[in-house]
């Protein structure tokens, strides 16, 4: 099993380069002005342009919260993004309008709710098909709280699931062994401050995630 790794909440070129060089498969840029990791679409576009030639296989993800689909299209075109991650209160119809270029982040509070949300939002045309994060009232991710492992394990049986929520270099290997996810996502778990990544932590996170899946 090959586990994909997404380093999210990037704001600086040097951090994005370090992540790509360490073996990250996906890089995430947050376009939500209430996030401490928010980056301007034009600034993200410059970072992505600098990465495309040396790292053509790395997939770029625009993390979006409660935006109109047409604005999302503009953001994706500006940044030359591969995917959009819908992290707010978007509808299944909005997700479908981007076809296989969008997937949903869900934050269920029960197994029953997790299954319902997966059936509503799971997109088998996208990679990942779904992202599972921890539920924190009023927030849309990046909280550092651990996701429910039991819920994640159940959804990972049926979906190409990306696991997020409270992961770091110390706990990611065990999370991968327990859940067997398609991929893992980290933001605060490899930072010295919001939006500023620790390059050594990035390397250890990626190595631990990928080695644990062998």
pLDDT at 135: 63
Higher pLDDT, 214 or 188: 188
pTM of the predicted model, to two decimals? 0.93
Domains of the chain in start order, with CATH, are 4-212 (3.20.20.70)
pLDDT at 140: 47
pLDDT at 171 over 70: yes
pLDDT at 201 over 80: yes
**Residue 136 backbone phi and psi in degrees, to 5:** -130, 120
Overall residue count recorded for the chain in this entry:
214
pLDDT at 144 over 90: no
Closest CA to 146 of 117, 185, 180: 185
pLDDT at 145 over 90: no
Residues 5-9: what's their mean pLDDT?
A: 97
pLDDT, mean over the chain: 92
pLDDT band at 161 (very low <50, low <70, confident <90, very high): very high
Residues 151-161: what's their mean pLDDT?
A: 95
CA atoms of 73 and 165, how far apart (whole Å): 27
**How many Cα atoms are found within 13 Å in the side-chain-facing hemisphere of 97?**
12
Residues annotated as catalytic are 8, 133
Closest CA to 14 of 166, 206, 195: 195
DSSP 99: G
pLDDT at 25: 98
What are the tens digits of pLDDT across the range 22-71?
A: 999 999 999 999 999 999 999 999 999 999 999 999 999 999 999 999 99
Strand partners, 4: 183
Residues 91-97: what's their mean pLDDT?
A: 94
E strand residue ranges, the chain:
4-7, 26-31, 59-64, 83-86, 102-106, 130-132, 161-163, 183-186, 191-193, 196-197
């Amino acid at each position: 099993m090959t586990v994909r790794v997404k380093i999210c909440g990037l704001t600086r070129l040097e951090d994005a380069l370090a992540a790509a060089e360490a073996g990250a498969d996906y890089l995430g840029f947050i376009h939500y002005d209430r996030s401490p990791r928010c980056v301007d679409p034009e600034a993200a576009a410059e970072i992505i342009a600098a990465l495309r030639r040396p790292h053509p296989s790395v997939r770029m993800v625009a993390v979006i919260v409660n935006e109109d689909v047409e604005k999302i299209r503009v953001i994706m075109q500006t940044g030359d993004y591969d995917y959009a991650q819908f992290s707010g209160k978007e509808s299944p119809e909005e997700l479908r309008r981007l076809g296989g270029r969008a997937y949903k982040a869900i934050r269920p509070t029960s197994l029953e709710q997790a299954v319902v949300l997966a059936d509503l939002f799971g997109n088998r045309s996208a990679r990942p098909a779904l992202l599972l994060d921890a539920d924190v009232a009023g927030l849309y991710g990046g909280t550092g709280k651990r996701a429910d492992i039991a819920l994640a394990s159940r959804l990972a049986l049926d979906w190409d699931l990306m696991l997020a929520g409270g992961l770091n270099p110390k706990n990611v290997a065990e999370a991968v062994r327990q859940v067997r996810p398609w991929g893992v996502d980290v933001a605060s778990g490899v930072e010295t401050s919001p939006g500023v990544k620790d390059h050594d932590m990035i390397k250890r996170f990626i190595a631990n995630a990928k080695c644990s899946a062998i």
